[in-house]
Structure 1
Amino acid sequence: MDITQLVVLSVRWAQLTQNKRMNKILAFLVTILLFGISKLPAQNYLNYYEKINEAEISNLDKNFEVADSVYQVAFELVEKSFKDDCLLASVNSEKLNDYQKTYEYLKKGILVGLTKKRIKKELSKFKKSDQWKSLKREFDSLREKYLKSLNLTLRNELLKMVDKDQSVRHPIFGSWKKMKKTDSYNYNRLLEIIKENNGKWPGRFNIGDGNEDGKYAYGEITIMLHHFSTEEVMNLKPILIEAILNGNLSPYNVAYPLDYKNLKTISKRKRGNTIFAETCNIIGSYLGSKSKDAIICDCEKAEKERKKIGLEPLDDYFRKRNSTYDCYEQK
């Protein structure tokens, strides 16, 4: 049994016994744990992703104390946590009525891109607390510190590329010719940006994380990947995975386009003059727009690939997405 498991068991025991002495012991164990983890490499993001999943599953199981203790462990593993994880940790602590922790998690999140709009949307009870008043007073200075850490010139250029990517796909004003030209320019410009950035992806450490659509969205910049060729995406894959392992990019930002560009057709049916294809995906993150269900081409292979890039097991992922999946190879 590792020390994290010991803390989790202690939390559960304290919940059952409501023992003040046990709670003091728990606090001592958490302190020891966090001290030990601080000695680990600062960029231990694979372990971070694993701990975040443990916390989220505990939250789903309504083990809010356990979830909070695991969030604390996860945040000490890395130099910069992800803003959505900070937000979810604050939502969890709000359920414990621990507004001081909520305040601390939100401060951490604001420093990595969390906005006031997202906070207001997700938290209700906390907004009635004194800590919320304090956070509102501090927000502008925290936000400014975050923005000063970014290359805003590069960020604005990339956002314009994303805007162009979307505008040429407008049903009226867009066209196939415009799409082809824009996608070619965006891909080649991205290669130049990566070269200028010492061979690294321009991730959240450089340009920030401005995605407002939640943790499982594929990100504001990586949306361009959906419109490159499969060969071009696979060419970028090693760079994308390096960014994930260094914490510069969320695994979900990459998994979704990788699945989208590697969909496999498993059956076809014809209705009138239209042919409908049923597909499976490789990693297990692409959900069709008309269905919350997914078909995984090979579940055993998918589990291995997911683990390599910090994604949780399929069962956990689809539970958190309130969805289901089927293993095609097992039919």
Structure 2
Amino acid sequence: MKKILAFLITILLFGMSKLSAQNYLNYYEKINEAEIANLDKEFKKADSIYRMAFELVEKPFKDDYLLASINSEKLNDNQKTYGYLKNGILVGLTEKRIKKELSKFKKSDEWKSLKKEYDLTREEYLKSLNLTLRKELTEMVDKDQASRHPIFGSWKKSKKVDSYNYKRLLEIIKENNGKWPDRFIIGDGNENGKYAFGEITIMLHHFSKDEVLNLKPYLIDAILTGGLSPYNVVYPLDYTNSKMIGRRGKFIDSCHYLGAYLSSNGNKAVICDCEKAEEERKKIGLEPLDDYFRKRNSTYDCYEQK
């Protein structure tokens, strides 16, 4: 009887995990639709799609709540803007970030109410986190960056820090029941927008390709269950999978696997295999390349080997 019960519980948990993954994939798709509608200046349509997206999952991302509030500000709907921001604060959105992005709303009565409620709402968010683990991980990131300081850093220091950080991340994953330490556990402290490098995953840029591949299943699982934004993961995956396609003097031309990096120095971003990139992007909740580069005000080319 106990074996049957354990089996049924396992099946139930597996089914719930698959449902959560599909919900977040649907969520990412809807969020992209809302962002494209906003770019097309169809603000009412965008708001409607944002609301549908937020109904799909228990904990939407703070940056999506912020973008929804910026969109509703254009509709002069202060009550809606207030609601999006209040929910955003509950998942990590800060007053500093809100002040930076919204101007008209700050003149409203709803803004005054939100400011009065901010500290208690923020405290509720912080109470849900493992702040000890968060502190450890952010210190690991600080050491990662410090070891690469042009004056005080060195290659030797960097290698030592990278080795420690990789091994410690594996230990943390093991201690966390085989799960990546995601935003549900340590929060989301990124203040630079949804397309910025991940607060913790920035470390992965300095790991070897094999190390990143070893961590990839945990990262993908976190994306599919909403613990990590796809953008937190796409940069290190692209960085460690870039391919040299030519040289221009001292400069190396590279193409990328997923298409995270933008055009630079007047050169378009180059995707190694656009068809493959589109397939892989869809699997982890990323929008089509055309939508991504449009939203980022950038351009790309598909690499054709000669």
Q: Is the structural similarity TM-score above 0.5?
A: yes
Instruction: Report the equivalent of 2:304.
Output: 329
SS of equivalent residue, structure 2 residue 304 = helix
Instruction: Report the equivalent of 2:188.
Output: 209
Instruction: Report the equivalent of 1:3.
Output: none
Provide the aligned length of Structure 1 versus Structure 2.
288
Hey, what's the Cα distance between the residues in 2 that align with 1:51 and 1:316?
13
Amino acid paired to 1:312 = E
Residue 97 of structure 1 pairs with residue 76 of structure 2: yes
Kept in 1, the 8 Å contact 2:263–2:299? The answer is no
Residue by residue, what CA displacement relative to the aligned partner does 1:263-314 show, whole Å, maximum 9, x if unpaired?
10001132xxxx3210000000123664573100000000000000000000
Q: Relative to structure 1, is the Cα distance of residues 276 and 292 closer, same or farther in structure 2, using a 3 angstrom cutoff?
A: closer
Residue 314 of structure 1 pairs with residue 294 of structure 2: no
Q: Relative to structure 1, is the Cα distance of residues 121 and 330 closer, same or farther in structure 2, using a 3 angstrom cutoff?
A: farther
The partner residue of 2:202 within 207, 216, 223 is 223
SS of equivalent residue, structure 2 residue 270 = strand
Instruction: Report the equivalent of 1:303.
Output: 278
TM normalised by structure 2 equals: 0.92
Kept in 2, the 8 Å contact 1:299–1:327? The answer is yes
Kept in 2, the 8 Å contact 1:245–1:309? The answer is yes
Kept in 1, the 8 Å contact 2:259–2:277? The answer is yes
Residue by residue, what CA displacement relative to the aligned partner does 1:32-72 show, whole Å, maximum 9, x if unpaired?
xxxxxxxx956610000000000000000000000000000
Kept in 2, the 8 Å contact 1:268–1:277? The answer is yes
Residue 233 of structure 1 pairs with residue 208 of structure 2: no
The partner residue of 1:165 within 144, 160, 178 is 144
Instruction: Report the equivalent of 2:14.
Output: none
The partner residue of 1:136 within 115, 129, 134 is 115
Aligned CA-pair RMSD: 1.4
Instruction: Report the equivalent of 1:283.
Output: 258
Hey, what's the Cα distance between the residues in 2 that align with 1:123 and 1:310?
28
TM normalised by structure 1 equals: 0.85
Instruction: Report the equivalent of 2:225.
Output: 246
Instruction: Report the equivalent of 2:7.
Output: none
Kept in 2, the 8 Å contact 1:42–1:77? The answer is no
Amino acid paired to 1:303 = E
| Structure 2 counterparts to residues 1-331 of structure 1, below 5 A | 41=19, 44-270=23-249, 275-287=250-262, 290=265, 293-329=268-304
Amino acid paired to 1:72 = R
Kept in 2, the 8 Å contact 1:42–1:79? The answer is no
Bigger RCO (CA 8 Å, 6+ sep): 2
Q: Percent of pairs identical after alignment?
A: 77
SS of equivalent residue, structure 2 residue 198 = coil
Q: Which runs of 5+ in 2 are unaligned?
A: 1-17
